[in-house]
Amino acid sequence: MVLNKFIDTGQSLSENEIKAIKKSWRILAQIDPAIIGDVFYRKLFLSYPRYKHMFPLDMKAQSLKLVHMLNQIIMRVENLESMNQILKELGSRHIGYGVQMSDYEAVGKSLIWTLAQTLGSDWNEELESSWSLLYAHVSQKMTQN
Ligand code: HEM
């Protein structure tokens, strides 16, 4: 797990890292987004049960929203200004949900775990560091209000 290494380092994604993320996302796009979301939230709640009460009972819509948002983020990975705008708005809404800065690490770990599990043999160290860097950027922008 390399998540912490990237937080607040100000590093940006290289062309190869962007390519790797996009390629992995094309593979994930073949999986039903409800399943990806389901795996993610099950992992999050199993590892960190304290977050369960923050979410609705019916998690299907939430799963779809999460994957849709990740898609929006990845579509903007080469247009940081546009990405940062949606992250700022998403981050403001998360303050309203009671999310704190310290919660982002648990979500990041569960997300990276989910990506690794769903990509299986297509997952590798380069992807782990690229996605971790992207997540660090996302969480930084979401909490920079
Ligand atoms: C990369 C980071 C994250 C992404 C992309 C993300 C994405 C989303 C999306 C798309 C929604 C749907 C509503 C909306 O768009 O405002 C949502 C809602 C929510 N998220 Fe996140 N989120 C992230 C981090 C977190 C963290 C760290 C927590 C803390 C546990 C969290 C907790 C919640 C809660 C409680 C809701 C509202 C659920 C409800 O009552 O409907 N999220 N998130």
State the distance from the centre of ligand 1 to the C-alpha of 95, rounded, in angstroms.
10
Pocket perturbation via mutation, ligand 1, pick of 69, 84, 142 by most ligand atoms within 8 A of CB: 69
Which residue ranges form the domains of the chain, and what is each CATH number?
14-142 (1.10.490.10)
Q: What is the pTM of this model?
A: 0.93
Binning pLDDT at 50, 70 and 90, where does residue 2 land? Answer: very low
Ligand 1 pocket by Cβ (under 6 Å):
51, 54-56, 62, 65-66, 69-70, 90, 93-94, 97, 99, 103-104, 107, 138-139
Torsional class of 14: left (φ above 0), alpha (ψ -120 to 50), beta (otherwise): beta
Rounded distance between C-alpha atoms, residue 81 and residue 96, angstroms: 23
pLDDT digits (tens, 9 = 90+) for 86-131: 999 999 999 999 999 999 999 999 999 999 999 999 999 999 999 9
Chain-centroid distance, C-alpha 19 = 17
